[in-house]
A and B are shown apart, each in its own frame.
Chain A
Amino acid sequence: GAGVSQTPSNKVTEKGKYVELRCDPISGHTALYWYRQSLGQGPEFLIYFQGTGAADDSGLPNDRFFAVRPEGSVSTLKIQRTERGDSAVYLCASSLGGARETQYFGPGTRLLVL
């Protein structure tokens, strides 16, 4: 079956601009996660959705970042007033709802802020 998909695969923007990154989870997965991976590092947690609601947004670095999942499927990560330090690969993952379930990752969106 289809895995997690993310669009765009690459995004180049200028400092101060607004960007949206999209994630399509595996069909039937109720849990959705966003992570950020900087060069040479492991992924860092940003936010977790269970259904339509953000169950844990403790990883969002500041109020320029927010994410939505209005219908409990597709999610959009939104970054306002982008900064060069936001440049990273943004990974989305989805899983079935339980705490022991495996998270399956998409290919990521590579964001470059000039």
Chain B
Amino acid sequence: AQSVAQPEDQVNVAEGNPLTVKCTYSVSGNPYLFWYVQYPNRGLQFLLKYITGDNLVKGSYGFEAEFNKSQTSFHLKKPSALVSDSALYFCAVRDSNSGYALNFGKGTSLLVTP
């Protein structure tokens, strides 16, 4: 079975400060990990993914994420937050031993204040 946990319902950051949104996962095979962002009344927008290779993955809008196999984590990071980064962030995992469906976390609301 596969699962994802996003332990924080909300993260508050001041503009210009670094941000981290946490994600941990559980799979039986190899993990395929994804981050999506959702703005109000919009669909999910793809940010980045880890499939294999370098543990540090760079994505859209200056976001990056680090795959840590020993801690089964895939935290999303950005060096300097913008007010426009305020949105709902979802981590998702697909198990290489399972089907093609993504298993999503509950989401973390990011609020960046000026």
Decide if B104 touches A44 in the complex (CB within 8 Å).
yes
B32 adjacent to A99 (CB under 8 Å): yes
B-contacting residues, A63-107, CB 8 Å: 91, 93, 99-100, 102-107
Q: Distance in Å from the Cβ of B45 to the closest Cβ of chain A?
A: 8
Q: A40-B106, A42-B105, A104-B46 are in contact. Are A58 and B34 (CB under 8 A)?
A: no
Q: Are B43 and A105 in contact (CB under 8 A)?
A: yes
Chain A residue with Cβ nearest B49: A102
Interface 9-residue window, one of B68-76, B77-85, B93-101: B93-101
Bound-complex Cα distance A41 to B104 (A): 9
Interface residues on A, range: 20 to 34
Contacts of A105 in B (CB 8 A): 36, 43-46
| A111 at interface by CB-CB < 8 Å | no
- On whether the beta carbons of B34 and A99 are closer than 8 Å, the reply is no
Contact of A55 among B43, B46, B99, B105 (CB under 8 A): B99
- B46: A residues at CB distance < 8 A: 102-105
Q: Which parts of A27-49 form the interface with B (CB within 8 Å)?
A: 31, 33, 35, 40-45, 48
Residues of B with Cβ closer than 8 Å to A? 4, 32, 34, 36, 42-46, 49, 51, 90, 92, 94, 96, 99-107
